[in-house]
Structure 1
């Protein structure tokens, strides 16, 4: 992998994991020291992240990690609502039995909050790749990755977070997919994403790094 891609991946991961939090100011020299590189690959990485709407360039001041807006969070989840059911349908139609059986590894979960975020991302990424459609899987995995910081910020505002219900929903979806029941699987994955929106958006509203959408 080229050096500039290493820097881009590291910086993107730090933003999505909230190690660089929404609203944080960044400077090229400080980031170059952080990743032990020159400023050029840092600048290239920041410009790529600006195109992904994760970073804003501030003339003569540096860069800022974009706050999370409610409208952008809603848009992301609605895009996922359109794309993930299509990936599930493709997986049911075309995935080999062994691919669907491998989803059994996600029927249970044990760990802390950070472990759950990793588990949840891995599960939904597995659904994306099970589709066998590289373009859809790539787009969905990007959405899932960007949703990580939504999940982190929202979980920080949920007391006594219990993942049991979410893991149970995953199990029901796995059952439907392994039976190749397209109608049941479509109902389950849509309901799962809609419930995510109902949990995440109210929690995001309570966080100081959220910005309200502006009327245009």
Structure 2
């Protein structure tokens, strides 16, 4: 069960049992309640609106409709049972293979034996990695790793910068202060012994609101693979702190309606991804030779 599916199930269960929700029905309040980023909350709300469980009024406010669930048999929400440690270990191996351009197929049974896990769990993990664009299933062959190309990465970042800046321009009329402050809270540079908080879904906020399906389709098709690499490139607290600071600078400019400043901050942040991946490659190479 994905985070979005869990939120949907939980909202329905609570509304049916209590008739109301224990939090304000806004994306920000729901994000805080479930301790997740805005993206899965937004997807859950959109689906609940389509199902009629939540009403989106003309002014954009949300209203719960518990009467819709009267007499409906609901399944209890269940958290994802996949072993997070195992997922992280296999993902690290897949990313290392991608960076080495290893084209050898991954086998479910062999991977299960390597990690001492069940084949069903490994298949679930492979499916999640395929959804992230890191591998693809080839019938009768196994799972093929998406090989990393440095030139492809540079070409992707060039197009990404251009399209994401356009998305930011198109979406700015749809930003709300409540949501922007939640994004700011989710991205907090650490100080001293305090670890940084980093929301990897920040960029989805304006891409989803830009209203241009060609921009959205570009990111839906090409971003999962590179996002997996970029997110994994946050290899230490220093890098995490730098990215959190860059995220905060973008959001603070948006709150101040400093559109030029937000564009400049976003542009600089995207260009930093090249350096982040270079550091990741160096880190993994050192790790393998240690």
Q: Aligned to 2:148, which of 68, 80, 90?
A: 68
Aligned pair count reads 187
1:140 paired with 2:219, answer yes
- The structure number with the bigger radius of gyration is 2
Q: Which runs of 5+ in 2 are unaligned?
A: 2-79, 81-86, 286-290
How big is each residue's C-alpha offset from its partner over 1:62-97, in whole Å with a ceiling of 9 and x where there is no partner? 443233221232233223212221222223233234
Tell me if the contact between 1:73 and 1:201 (Cα under 8 Å) persists in the aligned partners: no
CA 168–42 in structure 1, closer or farther in 2 if over 3 Å, else same: closer
What TM-score does the superposition give when structure 2 sets the normalisation length? Answer: 0.47
Q: Which runs of 5+ in 1 are unaligned?
A: 7-12, 209-216
Q: Aligned to 2:185, which of 81, 105, 112?
A: 105
More helix by share: 1
Q: Write the distance in 2 (CA, Å) between the matches of 1:127 and 1:15.
A: 32
| 2:269 equivalent in structure 1 | 192
Q: Aligned to 1:36, which of 120, 124, 135?
A: 120
CA 194–140 in structure 1, closer or farther in 2 if over 3 Å, else same: same
SS in 2 for 1:26: coil
Instruction: Compare relative contact order (CA 8 Å, sep 6+) and give the higher one, 1 or 2.
Output: 1
Instruction: Return the offset for 1:193.
Output: 0.8
SS in 2 for 1:90: helix
CA 183–103 in structure 1, closer or farther in 2 if over 3 Å, else same: same
Instruction: Return the offset for 1:121.
Output: 1.2
Please report the RMSD computed on the Cα atoms of aligned residues, expressed in angstroms. 4.6
Q: Write the distance in 1 (CA, Å) between the matches of 2:134 and 2:93.
A: 17
Tell me if the contact between 2:180 and 2:255 (Cα under 8 Å) persists in the aligned partners: yes
| 1:177 equivalent in structure 2 | 254
Which structure 1 residue ranges, 4+ long, deviate > 6 Å from structure 2?
13-16
Q: Write the distance in 1 (CA, Å) between the matches of 2:94 and 2:118.
A: 12
